[in-house]
């Protein structure tokens, strides 16, 4: 598995598995991203809670971040990233599981008011994503689409 970021010596990292959906508008070459109020961009998804399955996690995150019901599709890739979260004051080793996903319906307004769904051109999305492992996963997804196209 590929790992991004640098492990700092003598730092205790909190392992945080997460699930992320790569949602493409294929004919328009657009990727769904979540923009937070601080101007950062992330893939829809997030950390797993308790004994959640990958499907349960992505469905919950879709409701929270987008107000959308997500359907999980084909698995794409897994990657890790070391980083420090200023928001949490915690050092994390995030393990991302990335899947193709699609929006299957609306559930109402997003539960997280500071999260906004944006459709961004694929190349630009890769550049804007805050986490390197998410950018890499989008590139892998686009390559898979090209190879299957």
Reported residue count of the chain is 149
pTM of the model: 0.94
Question: Which pLDDT belongs to residue 146?
Answer: 84
> What is the C-alpha to C-alpha distance for residues 92 and 117, in angstroms, rounded to an integer?
25
R_g of the chain, CA atoms, integer Å: 15
- Contact between 16 and 85 under an 8 Å Cβ cutoff? The reply is no
CATH architecture of 2-148: Alpha-Beta Complex (3.90)
Kindly report, residue by residue over 21-41, the tens digit of the pLDDT.
999 997 889 999 999 999 999
Question: Which pLDDT belongs to residue 145?
Answer: 87
> What is the C-alpha to C-alpha distance for residues 80 and 3, in angstroms, rounded to an integer?
5
Q: Which residues contact 105 (CB under 8 A, 6 or more apart)?
A: 68, 69
Alpha helices in the chain (DSSP H): 54-66, 122-128, 132-148
Domain boundary assignment for the chain: 2-148
Among the ranges given (41-45, 110-114, 122-126), the one the predictor scored with the smallest mean pLDDT:
110-114
Which residue is listed with tokens 């070391």?
82
- Average confidence (pLDDT) over 69-92: 95
- Average confidence (pLDDT) over 12-25: 96
Chain CA centroid to CA 61, Å = 10
């Amino acid at each position: 598995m590929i790992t991004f970021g640098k492990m700092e010596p003598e730092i205790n990292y909190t392992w945080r598995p997460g699930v992320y959906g790569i949602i493409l508008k294929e004919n328009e070459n657009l990727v769904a991203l979540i923009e937070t109020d601080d101007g950062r961009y992330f893939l829809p998804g997030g950390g797993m809670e308790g004994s959640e399955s990958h499907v349960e996690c992505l469905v919950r995150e879709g409701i929270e971040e987008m107000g959308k019901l997500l359907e999980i599709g084909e698995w794409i890739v897994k990657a890790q990233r070391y980083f420090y979260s200023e928001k949490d004051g915690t050092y994390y080793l995030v393990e991302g599981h990335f899947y193709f996903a699609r929006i299957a319906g609306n559930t109402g307004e997003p539960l997280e008011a500071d999260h906004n769904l944006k459709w961004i051109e694929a190349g630009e999305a890769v550049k804007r994503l805050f986490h390197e492992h998410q950018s890499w996963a989008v590139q892998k997804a686009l390559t898979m689409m090209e190879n299957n196209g």
